[in-house]
Structure 1
Amino acid sequence: MKYDHIKQAVYRKIESGEWPEHHPVSSENQLAKEFQVSRMTARRALQELSDEGLVVRTRGAGTFVAPLKSQSALLTIRNIADEIRLRKHRHHAVVRLLEEVDAEPGLATLFGLQQGAKVWHSVITHFENGHAVQVEDRHINPALVPHYLEQDFTLRTPHEYLCEVTPLTEASHQIEAVSPTSMQQQWLDLDQAEPCLQIQRRTWAREGMVSQAVLTHPGSRFRLGGHMTFSQKAKVLKTQTKK
């Protein structure tokens, strides 16, 4: 569809940083001329981009790139620091907790540990351009990652460290909307208990389950995105001739 080509072109300019926040977007007339479509088609593309929160349309002023929320890939596991740097933004982290705790019964079972065994626990707030965008609450299997508590996670993220010491082979995600706890609200610097998006992520290596992380994001500063490519396999029809 022609309007979708326009949307993809605008999206690529925003994603690449060529059009930063508040940058003016080509007008309906300019897009219609560039893509050789009707003005109505160009208007539909801009309206859908506006509905998706990527651009802001102001009567009499034009269309502009919307202030970008932090975005994570839904279908892949990526390092939050890398995602932020890809947007040409600054990442830094504050370690709230880094400790040894008793494993809850369910977690001990998942990790293949005896009931009452110790596990590693960390809580880290990740910032993008000075704004808190994620509280990462993670439990680690000490049998697979024995030196976790010795790391400085202001220099590299737990994800970076885990990929280095025990290559991950599998992951699962559960996503839900939640109200933040009082501590999450404080760590995310929320003025009020706004809805948050929470991802529970479990990761495995060849030897067993490595970690369970609960990633909490303020709804006003974060969105999940994904892109899928579908391949069409050629269908081969065979005919048989009766003899």
Structure 2
Amino acid sequence: MADGTTREGRVLEANDKEVVLEVGQGGVTVAVRLPRSQVVKVEEKASTGTAAMGEYVSRLSKALKSTSADDWHALGLWCRGQRGFRDKAAEAFDRALALDPNHAPTRLVLGHVRINDAWMTREQAIRLIAPDLEANAQARELELQKEIEEARTAAAEAEARNKALEAKLAELRRDIEDLRARLTLPPLPADYYRPRVLYRPLIIIPRLPHPHHPGPPPKKDPPKDLPKDASPKDPSPQDTSPKNASPKDASPNAPSPDGSPK
């Protein structure tokens, strides 16, 4: 355009007076008429499909001249990223595997797996290892059942041990309560905390015997046949007077009962 801008669209008509351009926007196509005096030049731009085909032809010619699987692998990756070239990608990957059957990048792109140094599809691998998988699953099932039985046995033993410990704990609690009941002391008297008069302490020093003078004679133990709290009684003085003496036999000089001489 004469003002330096550009317009893109499909040219419907171009003459000396005007250029009719079909412009699409938001799913709606509009015919725009531009004066020829404002149009500097009209350039034809190749479509996306035409440009992609040209790129494919260039890459294909390069791969045909090469004997390396990497070039065909690169062509296959490029075709995968382009719309309408999916079948070309499959052909390129097949040519890469024809040159190198163990080409790992191409095998991985196609989803193949390697088992025992052999490449195969996932379906082939599943059919090959299915018997081994089933046998391993059965063996694992038996192991799990054994572990479950061992766990149940251990749980039963733990439950029995738990009950025994609970019984011992209950017995210990009863012993503690019994001991606390036995150690309970009687209540203190009401005046236990009343103020008390402080007295000066009196120190009594026992008198020790002199080394040259023996001490008092030791006390005699009471007879063994008497109780400890009983002491032997002193014998009463004997009556020296004759039992059958009469007043007549008394001496004439004996004093009278009142103490006066007869």
Structure-2-length-normalised TM-score: 0.16
Larger Cα-atom Rg: 2
**Higher RCO (C-alpha 8 Å, min separation 6):** 1
Structure-1-length-normalised TM-score: 0.17
